[in-house]
Amino acid sequence: MEISNYIEPVKLNRVSYQGIADEETLGNDILFFDGTAQWFLDKKFDLAILGVPETRNCQRAVSSEAPGIIRRWLYGMRKISSGDVIADLGNVKGNSLKDRYIALREVAEYLEQQNVVVLVLGGSQDLTVPLCGVFPKTARKFSLTVVDSFIDLVPADDDYSEETFLNKLIADYGPENIEDLSLLGCQNYYCSSRQEQVFSDHYFRLARLKELRDENIETVEVFLRQSDVLSFDFSAIRGMPVLPGGNKMPNGFSELDACRILWYAGASDVLKITGLFNLPAGNSEGEEYGPLGAQMCWHFLEGRGARCGDYPLRSFQDYELKAVYLEEFDASLKFYHNPANGRWWLMIPYGDNERLIPCSGKDYKDAVAKELPALWWHFFMKNSNLDYS
């Protein structure tokens, strides 16, 4: 596969910020794809930024210019401290919508094979589907976390669009490929009972906005610690003009919360692909939302420096084992704690074996208080009803 055929380079175009000299800017540290196949032979990098200016499968007023807008506000910011070598591969080509999907999947697959982390600047959220198409080709299951105010599926609907991309994702990949799917930040009044039932039937997880915002934002880190893909919809942020008629979202994550979520994503040891989607077009093709998008990207890149090399890169036997026996349920729960960073894991049933999943300190406190953690019960029921062969 000649990866250079699928992408086109972009020119450095950045806002200048007071007090930041050119040599101190992030853009000065970026490797920019030059359009040649030889470039990939000469350059080695840890993280790739990839623009996908594609919104043809979206009914909302979403900016197709978002990749360029975000880059312009991002590259004038100060350079990051993570030590990662970052490349900007430009934008994915595609005359037809199908062409763009195929090109995106091919580029993402190549980068996965090179062990390069990908930050995708969309475009609309239906692009999540071809991005997830990378993992079935690697013969392993994947975990996806979606941050959104809505549940983007319509039960018993075969249509494929940005508003129903979860239908397509479930139909294409199914339980044989999807290890776990979590939707964070959904708002109850925008979600139907039928949509919730689909999630329940597949043993996917829903975490509502009220469970995660403000002082509870750290809970998001637990989800992202085991995810391969993060798909972030700007509709999850308070004040975005994403409601019918272009009305603004009254509730949602704050701008600070959004940056924190992206920082957690960067700090994940296992996250391979992060996508920012559905930047509102607004009154200027999204220009007024570019600074926020850029700050979110900067926090993701900076968060990369906080990776801990935790499980599964490190043996869980290195951690503190804290066993709790719940007599009422005749269950012995095994928690593992890393005192260096305060992170927790819980051993759960998995087929005929066990597996370790991230959890929070609250899950351990619930167990000590003789309450069965909801997380353990969720995976116990999932294990009892799904075929793990």
**9 plus 141 within the same structural domain:** yes
- Concatenating the DSSP letter of every residue in 48-61 gives EEEEE---TT--S-
- Residue ranges making up the domain that contains 202: 3-306
| Residue 250 located in a structural domain | yes
Residues 6+ apart with CB under 8 A from 116: 45, 46, 47, 48
Q: What are phi and psi of 307, to 5 degrees?
A: -60, 140
Q: Are residues 362 and 279 in the same domain?
A: no
237 and 380 fall within a common domain: no
Quickly list H helices, the chain. 38-42, 66-74, 97-113, 128-132, 165-177, 193-201, 209-212, 219-224, 255-267, 290-303, 361-368, 374-385
Contact 337, 319 (CB under 8 A): yes
Which of 116-120, 138-142, 214-218, 222-226 has the lowest average pLDDT?
A: 138-142
Q: How far is CA 89 from the centre of its chain?
A: 19
Angle at 67 between CA 167 and CA 137, to 5 degrees: 45
Q: How far apart are CA 244 and CA 209, in angstroms?
A: 20
Q: What is the pLDDT of residue 387?
A: 62
Q: Is residue 83 part of a domain?
A: yes
Q: Which residues pair with 182 in a beta bridge?
A: 145, 205
Q: Which of 306, 332, 358 is the last residue of a domain?
A: 306
**100 pLDDT higher than 60:** yes
Instruction: Please give the share of the chain, as a percent, with pLDDT higher than 70.
Output: 99
* pLDDT tens string 330-354: 889 999 999 999 999 999 988 788 8
Cα–Cα distance measured from residue 224 to residue 69, given in angstroms and rounded to the nearest whole number: 26
31 and 61 both lie in a single domain: yes
Residues 306-328 have pLDDT tens digits of 999 999 999 999 999 999 999 99
Which tokens belong to 115? 């062990």
Query: Does one domain contain both 35 and 183?
Result: yes
Residue pair 14/45 in contact by the 8 Å Cβ criterion: no
Q: In angstroms, how far apart are the furthest CA atoms of the chain?
A: 65
The predicted pLDDT at position 51 comes to 98
Cis bond leading into 312, ω under 30°?
yes
Question: Is 129 part of any domain?
Answer: yes
| The domain boundary residue, chosen from 306, 340, 360 | 306
Q: For residue range 50-80, list pLDDT tens digits in order.
A: 999 999 999 899 999 999 999 999 999 999 9
Are the C-beta atoms of residues 226 and 265 closer than 8 Å to each other?
Answer: no
Q: How far apart are alpha carbons 182 and 279 in whole angstroms?
A: 21
Residue 226 lies in a domain: yes
Confidence band of 156 (pLDDT split at 50, 70, 90): confident
* Together in a domain, 33 and 103: yes
Distance CA 240, CA 249 (A): 5
Host H or E run for residue 120? strand 117-122
Flag whether 328 is in a domain. Answer: yes
Are 254 and 176 within one domain?
yes
For the chain, state the CA radius of gyration. 21
* Domain assignment of residue 81, yes or no: yes
pLDDT tops 60 at residue 14: yes
Q: How far apart are CA 236 and CA 232, in angstroms?
A: 8
Q: Are residues 257 and 223 in the same domain?
A: yes
Q: Which of 259, 279, 306 is the last residue of a domain?
A: 306
Question: Is 388 a residue whose pLDDT tops 60?
Answer: no
For residue 382, what pLDDT band results from cuts at 50, 70 and 90? confident
Is residue 311 one of the residues assigned to a domain? no
Claim to verify: residue 195 and residue 227 sit in the same structural domain: yes
Residue 186 domain-assigned? yes
Q: What is the mean pLDDT of residues 30-38?
A: 97
Whether residue 73 sits in one domain with residue 222: yes
**pLDDT mean over 25-45:** 97
Strands 142-147 and 229-233 turn out to be parallel
Which two three-digit tokens encode residue 170?
């479930």
Residue whose structure tokens are 């080709």: 137
Tokens of 123: 């475009």
Q: Is 369 found in the same domain as 247?
A: no
Place of tokens 């939302």: 289
Both 171 and 29 in one domain: the answer is yes
Summarised one tens digit per residue, pLDDT across range 364-376 is 999 999 999 999 9
8 Å CB contact between 249 and 237: yes
Domain count, the chain: 2
Each residue of 225-276: pLDDT tens digit?
Answer: 999 999 999 999 999 999 999 999 999 999 999 999 999 999 999 999 999 9
Task: Report the C-alpha gap between 254 and 245 in whole angstroms.
Answer: 22
Residue 285 clears pLDDT 90, i.e. is over it:
no
Give me the half-sphere count of Cα atoms (radius 13 Å) on the Cβ side of residue 24.
8
